[in-house]
Structure 1
Amino acid sequence: MSHIVKSPPPLAAAVVGIHTTQQGMSIDRPAVHLVLDAIAAALADAGIDKSEVDGISARWPGPTGTVMLPGSIDWGAQLGIPLRWVDDSYPAGVPALMAAAAAITSGLCNTVVVAGGQSRTRIPGAVLEYTRPDNEFTAVFGSYTPAQFALVAQRYFHVFGADPAKMAGIAAAIRSMGSIRPGAALFGRGPYAAEDIMASPMIVEPFHLLELCLASEGAVAYVVTSLDRAKDCARRPVRVLGGGMEYKRQQYVDPPLYDEAKNLGADAIARATAMAGVSIGDIDTFQLYDANAWEVARQFEALGYCAEGEGLDFVMERGAGPEGLAINTDGGLLSFGHLGSSGPTLKIVEAVRQLRGDAPTSQREGAELALATGAGGGALYYNLAILGRA
């Protein structure tokens, strides 16, 4: 049976305000305080009073999600505003952005805040709880998220005989951009060379410690509103042009297979570029979900920028920096920060910075189109959005 998918109407929404708090490896403040700080700063960045906000995409009702006891913190009460629209299905990154843009376009609400963050998560001598999902075929074997991605990457290196030094080179380039970005968790820790990456401890083959993303703390927020309202905001609006999502099956349950993960993103990018009316060759900056350095290369292959097995060479030849592909110009999840479920939201914020032309470091000159992505091969689901300078 064939399925006919109609082209959706254009999205009439734009991102008008952004903010990230100082990122850190350990922050001794309540998460709700950090998130409220990020929301206030994002609204100030947009020049919008909180009284205009009538939608929110965040863990509902409060920062830890649905908790019946005590359940005393909710965002409506904390912000002191009534809400017309609430999203808690995936309140971060691309899904939150697309849901907010769709809600605004359809008239369900006018202005949405997307926010999240975490703090006080670290347990001495143990991996963070959210890196070891309590799934029946995962936790019992002691598996955790880097190992799930490693299963896919191991097959790739075996089949194509890829050079591990090139993966290390990608990690070094992205981490070095984070080392010069104020507010990054690892600000001032670089620069890095491929040799530094490969000298770090092997965590799970083929990944060294410095080829894996952080597990850090902090908060992030952005504001989405209608195109009409965006015209009068304080900063240059960035329009939501298109997006797409793919889900293979529940992540971190059965071990992921390379053959089912390798092309994850191909369908999403085809739908997103058609929706946005652009070509993949038009993208100026790539804010990719870098759970690990190899996942960056895999995405360029799946998105159609190079052939299977050529991703590492493609990135190294073009360059990850702002004069090249402009990948994860804030340092990405590798060195700027990774806020658990809100990690993907950082990708939206950096895409907006690049398109506004006000990134404090590693600015891609003249950037007009940005790609932001979330999840990846080891997780067996993927999402992406295309944003453009309005």
Structure 2
Amino acid sequence: MPISDVRVVGVHTTEQARAIDRPALSLCLEAALGALADAGLAPADVDGIAARWPGPGGTVMHPGSVDWTALLGHPLRWVQDTYPQGVPAVLDAAAAISAGLCHTVLVVGGQSGIRSGGAVAAYTRPENEFVAPWGAFTAVHFALVAQRQLHLVPGYREGAAAAAATIRTHGHANPDAVLCGRGPVTAADVLTAPPIAEPFTLLDLCLATEGAAAMVLTRADRAADTRSPVRVLGGGAEWHRQQYVDPARHEEVWTIGRDAAADAFAMAGLAPADVDVALLYDINSFEVLRQLEVLGLCDPGEGPAFVGDVGIALGQGLPVNPDGGLLSYSHIGWGGPTLKVVEAVHQLRGEAGSRQVADAEVAVATGAGSGAQYHNTLLLGRS
């Protein structure tokens, strides 16, 4: 059975906010039950899971997805602990379902209580080799790569600012976004915002927020009775090196994801021009341009021109992150990659309200990027 016979049948997000006074487990459970209800399924229908256990309790040998059996109330046939969120979780779940290892997979993740007194979220300062001794945080890894790209293509600075402004303005208009009403934002606003890590200003960088998100996948025959299934068309991933350990080198990672994207389009029998809406992993503004290029939506170095001439706003050539993305909607740590798939499903179902892309039939969702030294791509289609 090919993965194109697998469907995303349920999605759900909780409240997204700068801070939520609830345990992460409570948020994740709400998201999981919401996604199952959206699919018209019950916990008893689930026989596979991709969901890091947020605690309390459970194993201390992380990540511990199998701890979810206690809440689901029954054993599972398949567990994904490698990267149990977003695009990798969808691809692994689709492969497992296709191989007959399970039939219905729940993916869920989220966070709360992340700040603990620091100016940046604790998870952006991992105790990793070569990182902890020097005080680096996530944005710095991407800044190293972006600074080199800016040297090679100076026009990237203005193009990245325009991309960030567009996506943040999308979030300004989304009532569910953490930064709803905080706009509209212009490229000049981005360029003159407080500097964080050269060349990034505050408005070039994504949020660190709280909340949870979940999705449910199952076989096409089991999806027949669900509300509005979305097809998994194809996907691919590239893993260069462990994230946030060794510093990323532009020469090694700037094009990471290009082969994965080519594999995804080949698997789906589609071309980049077939994409109607893009849910790009906008951890920073330069990544938006880079991903437009590696997806084949424009030529190398032409990301700024694509934003300026084709347009990524609603109603333009290729809407990107109409929900406001990680820059303005929300970024919930391990649940952040799943938000991209959730928005893709809303768009393909035609239920995105004022941010709906007209007649959206094919969506691309991505995860991670150059500074993280891995990248993944997923293509979804209207059933």
Query: Same fold judged by TM-score > 0.5?
Result: yes
Matches within 5 A, 1:190-209: 190-209=183-202
Alpha-carbon separation, structure 2, partners of 1:38 and 1:316: 37
> Is this contact kept in 2: 1:330–1:361, CA < 8 A?
no
Alpha-carbon separation, structure 2, partners of 1:49 and 1:145: 38
If the length of structure 2 is used for normalisation, what is the TM-score? 0.95
Matches within 5 A, 1:122-133: 122-133=115-126
Decide which of 294, 300, 322 is 1:302's aligned counterpart: 294
Per-residue Cα deviation, 1:300-322 (whole angstroms, up to 9, x for no partner): 11222222221112122222122
- Per the alignment, residue 38 of structure 2 pairs with 45
Q: Which amino acid counterpart does residue 168 of structure 1 have in structure 2?
A: A
Q: Which amino acid counterpart does residue 224 of structure 2 have in structure 1?
A: K
Q: Which runs of 5+ in 2 are unaligned?
A: none
Alpha-carbon separation, structure 1, partners of 2:116 and 2:61: 25
- Per the alignment, residue 272 of structure 1 pairs with 264
Decide which of 295, 307, 318 is 1:315's aligned counterpart: 307
1:74 counterpart SS class? helix
Residue 233 (str. 1) matches residue 226 (str. 2): yes
- Per the alignment, residue 5 of structure 1 pairs with none
Per-residue Cα deviation, 1:28-79 (whole angstroms, up to 9, x for no partner): 100110011111111111111222111111014857984269x9x9322223
2:355 counterpart SS class? coil
Q: Which amino acid counterpart does residue 280 of structure 2 have in structure 1?
A: L
- Per the alignment, residue 211 of structure 1 pairs with 204
Query: Residues 58 and 125 (structure 1 numbering): CA distance in 2 closer, same or farther, change over 3 Å?
Result: closer
Decide which of 29, 34, 38 is 1:36's aligned counterpart: 29
If the length of structure 1 is used for normalisation, what is the TM-score? 0.93
- Per the alignment, residue 57 of structure 1 pairs with 50
> Is this contact kept in 2: 1:63–1:116, CA < 8 A?
no
Query: Residues 9 and 231 (structure 1 numbering): CA distance in 2 closer, same or farther, change over 3 Å?
Result: closer
Superposition deviation, residue 246 in structure 1: 0.5
Q: Which amino acid counterpart does residue 120 of structure 1 have in structure 2?
A: G
Per-residue Cα deviation, 1:137-177 (whole angstroms, up to 9, x for no partner): 12211111111101111111111122523321111110111
> Is this contact kept in 1: 2:25–2:54, CA < 8 A?
no
> Is this contact kept in 1: 2:276–2:319, CA < 8 A?
yes
- Per the alignment, residue 5 of structure 2 pairs with 12
Q: Which amino acid counterpart does residue 254 of structure 1 have in structure 2?
A: D
Query: Residues 294 and 67 (structure 1 numbering): CA distance in 2 closer, same or farther, change over 3 Å?
Result: same
> Is this contact kept in 1: 2:159–2:303, CA < 8 A?
no
Residue 165 (str. 1) matches residue 158 (str. 2): yes
Q: Where in structure 1 do 4 or more consecutive aligned residues deviate above 6 Å?
A: none
Alpha-carbon separation, structure 1, partners of 2:99 and 2:346: 27
> Is this contact kept in 1: 2:44–2:72, CA < 8 A?
no
Matches within 5 A, 1:1-390: 9-60=2-53, 62=55, 66-67=59-60, 74-234=67-227, 236-324=228-316, 325-390=318-383
Query: Residues 374 and 65 (structure 1 numbering): CA distance in 2 closer, same or farther, change over 3 Å?
Result: farther
Alpha-carbon separation, structure 2, partners of 1:216 and 1:60: 18
Identity across the alignment (%): 56
Task: State the aligned residue count.
Answer: 380
Deviates more, 1:38-47 or 1:304-313: 304-313
Q: Which runs of 5+ in 1 are unaligned?
A: 1-7
